[in-house]
Structure 1
């Protein structure tokens, strides 16, 4: 993955997976602080080389919001809420949860992965290019990978009723995807999965758990508050399409 940094204000890189999957040249720009006019002019020049650009405005910085709205046709596709939980003390892992590294393909995982909120389906251009299958591809690509870990919950019959996909980076455990079977949505399975991952992360010496979710996903926001996470960020995500090239 090629990455370029402009004066530490912007991280800009190609989205190679997105380019291949959606069939349009794709990139991401992460705006890490209020941009100067020079920063913005340089970034707009980069935009011309791509058909699709995801622009992440850290902490919903108003100055950047104004420039994006004034100078581009980008639209607000998502507001990503970031949570962190500090890991303190030993944690007992629930008995009904097992944690697996390099999990083999598990079709039960794919079957219960029903995610209602997704910028990949709410953006019409991505939706018509297979946006509804992105999370399925995400899961498929995570099987048999040594850097990916699954916490699995099973009922008394041995059937899977929940999973939590996570990984580790920079002394932190990163929650990627979590899902619970609709038949067990109110059974505390999500909390058990989270506690199991917290226990594993503590054993690995991690200092915190990180996770992000969409602002419209009130169920997830309430859940992460319930398990002790604190909101640390609120990032706007804009989608910019260079229509003439699509």
Structure 2
């Protein structure tokens, strides 16, 4: 059975979806909404939290709650290479890249097959459309891998432009594995992407392996659910039946 705050969230959601409350509109004050629905302030705020998690409203501290203006969506094409990825997101997307040397923590050490504390190079990609962040990608390379120059900003938001460089260095990739998970944004991710920690994000853990089975690079992509999606296309081969007389 739905709780009181869920029923209120349903009622408020219908007003947003029907555009009775159009995009950009400031919602009535929380005290007014609580009075309309005969509930306490905490119950009303729980309902608003649901709508914020769904990306329907945004809270502006000291100002109020507003119906969110729908954002353009970018598409992460699973298993594709950077030229295709860049075409998928369009030319309006701008990518910035920063790099630093760090050490392998437990999860990264296991993923890359390197000792705990081994030196790594981290490349951080943040894509933006206008001033709105759209995606975050962190790419990690072991220092034992042939040195690669920092990526060129503006190519691909997914940090997948290292494949060509590995090939040029004589270590072509053999396979790329991707693992998808849905969760809420961490505090650091929320700060970078200008979203709430209640916002649902899709994460992609990508490992790139060479012909010897060595992991050359690991990446973690974070895609906010209200402005990004992942699409997997599978090619189907038609089999022609053979008839014998």
Q: TM-score range by the shorter chain?
A: under 0.3
TM-score, scaled to structure 1: 0.25
TM-score, scaled to structure 2: 0.25
**Which structure shows the higher helix fraction?**
1
Structure number with bigger Rg:
2
